[in-house]
Chain A
Amino acid sequence: MSIEVRHLTHCYSEGSAMRTVALDDVSLTIGDGEFIGIIGHTGSGKSTLVQHLNGLLKPSSGQILVNGQDLNGEHVNRRALRQQIGLVFQYPEYQLFEETVARDIAFGPKNQGLSQEEIDERVRYAMSCVHLDYEKYSERSPFELSGGQMRRVAIAGVLAMKPSVLILDEPTAGLDPRGRDRILSMLEELHARESTTIVMVSHSMDDMARLATRLIVMAEGKILATGTPREIFAQEEMMLSAGLGVPEAARLCRALRAAGYDLPGDLYRMEELKEHLLRLWSARKSGGKEAQPC
């Protein structure tokens, strides 16, 4: 499943004095099996872009092609295409409404017109994806759960539709470290095991460093840069100019290089830094020449 965005422009309040351009000639491709991270300052157009990907917003101009078909074209089964693309909003727990967890998760599959057996199977599948025990939680009211659990129920509600592409708008916002780690490892698993294409919007560079295979940096409605985390996080100035930071590990790498240490310029994971620092340390201990970085 691939999504191609061609010259997408979106204006809010078109034709009035309040007209604002939220997206300005954005083009990008989301390939099968990718884990894409979209990063950008608030108001950079990330959320607007993401809502176009499953047709909730209509472009002012430009196209969104899903498997080559125009999502907003005339002779297209829009519903069928949209079902392929699951969208999890910010704070999705605020959309829960059913009396039981299972029924809430079943809402999507039910709207897809599946049979009862299939729906049950989907609910079990989705709950296992988000690590909620079916026996224990399916009959509980979603409103009795903790914030992190509610969020997982909401994500399960989208996963139950078995989308080929899963889009999440800041899935870890407002969660504590434990809740955040649960969601992230769940996404990691989903990407590895089901090879679901994932698009995640996030403010956290550390989350991105951990998961994304490709990053898209947005600023003022435009794509500022795209590349692997390694390529992107090596460009600290560009990130700062977009009002963003880089992971701590990348900052440390730059600071150490500035102090004259022999390190590659594009490290961004703690494990990498650990290896390199240990290498320097053991070289220093054995008294080798290149070990004297200063």
Chain B
Amino acid sequence: MQTDAQVRLEDVSFTYEEASSPAVSHATALIRPGEFVAVLGHNGSGKSTLAKLMNALYTPTEGNVVVCGYDTADEKLVWEIRRRAGMIFQNPDNQIVATVVREDVAFGLENLGVPTEEMIPRIDKALDAVRMTKYADSAPHTLSGGQKQRVAIAGILAMEPSVIIADEATAMLDPSGRLEVLDTIRMLNRAKGITVVWITHFMEEAALADRILVITDGEIKAEGTPAEIFDRVEEMQQMHLDVPPMTALADVLRKEGMPLRRGILTVEDFVQEVEKVLCPSKSAT
């Protein structure tokens, strides 16, 4: 089955065993090839469940999840799906299996039954893509959090996926580690055209995406470009989510009567807009 969607959610619901209410309910979404989509939601909003549904770790209780044309409900397709939709998790320590970086990158390939001669170049390429070649023979516990996450990304990359799903991959990192991981993923998205589903509660990270899905109480409540989404300042705050500080400031000023345009996200946007409002003569030239 050919579709133009990399990941398609069709009215998906999922209820954990022994849970009274669904963790994800009636979610419908479409993620196109090469997109960078952020899923924004607070803890317990169902965003992690959504990630696991896209990797066939869970199968929906209702509806269908189709990844790269494969339905996750079909048990025979599970390995095909996981190979194409790699996943990175939150805790950098709990997803590295081997005692040496190079061998951890090999883990997925070993599972797929890739011949040894073929593994070595693929591992080298993956480590190079995340700029971790230098650490190929290091023990994982000697690396920083950001480096560990990059090893995890290399492990996925070696399997040559078309989608990477990152489930709060930066939540436990310090600012420089977060930047490292985010830069790596954005580079892979742009240079290799890998589709990215970026699950997060950091609005700064979501603001960098092509498109944002906002999820609360298991439902996809809003969908749009970062500018569209964050302009709904009050709605976002009601869902206990942050909006970029510049967007919030513009919103407050607008309420006081200053005619600032909508969709301001960054300091640069803001300065430009203030120029227009306060010095129209200057900004015209």
* A interface list, Cβ under 8 A from B: 41-42, 146-148, 173-179, 203, 206, 243, 245, 247-249, 251-252, 255-256, 259, 261, 270, 273-274, 277-278, 280-281, 284, 292-294
Contact = CB atoms under 8 A, between A and B. Distances in A.
B117 to A, nearest CB: 38
A255 B42 contact: no
Interface stretch (B66-74, B76-84, B225-233, B244-252): B244-252
Given A41-B176, A284-B278, 15 more contacts: A148-B43, A174-B171, A174-B172, A176-B43, A176-B201, A178-B42, A178-B240, A248-B267, A251-B267, A252-B267, A270-B248, A278-B258, A281-B257, A293-B279, A294-B282
B249 A270 contact: yes
B62 interface: no
B114 interface: no
A261 B248 CA distance: 21
Interface in B220-263: 240-242, 244-246, 248-249, 252-253, 256-258
A53 B279 CA distance: 53
Contacts of A248: 244-246, 267
Interface in B118-135: none
Nearest to A204: B175
Complex A-B, nearest 9 residue pairs according to Cβ-Cβ distance, in ascending order: A178-B240, A294-B279, A176-B201, A248-B245, A294-B282, A176-B42, A176-B43, A177-B242, A42-B174
Interface string B164-197: 0000000110111100000000000000000000
Given A42-B144, A245-B175, A177 B42 contact: yes
Given A277-B274, A281-B278, A292-B279, A203 B42 contact: no
B245 to A, nearest CB: 4
Contacts of B277: 281, 284
A146 B44 contact: yes
8 contacts: A42-B144, A249-B245, A252-B270, A270-B249, A277-B253, A278-B256, A284-B277, A284-B278
A242 B267 CA distance: 22
B265 to A, nearest CB: 11
Contacts of B253: 274, 277-278, 281
B179 to A, nearest CB: 10
A174 B43 CA distance: 10
Contacts of A42: 144, 174, 176-177
B275 A259 contact: yes
Contacts of A179: 42-43
Nearest to B203: A177
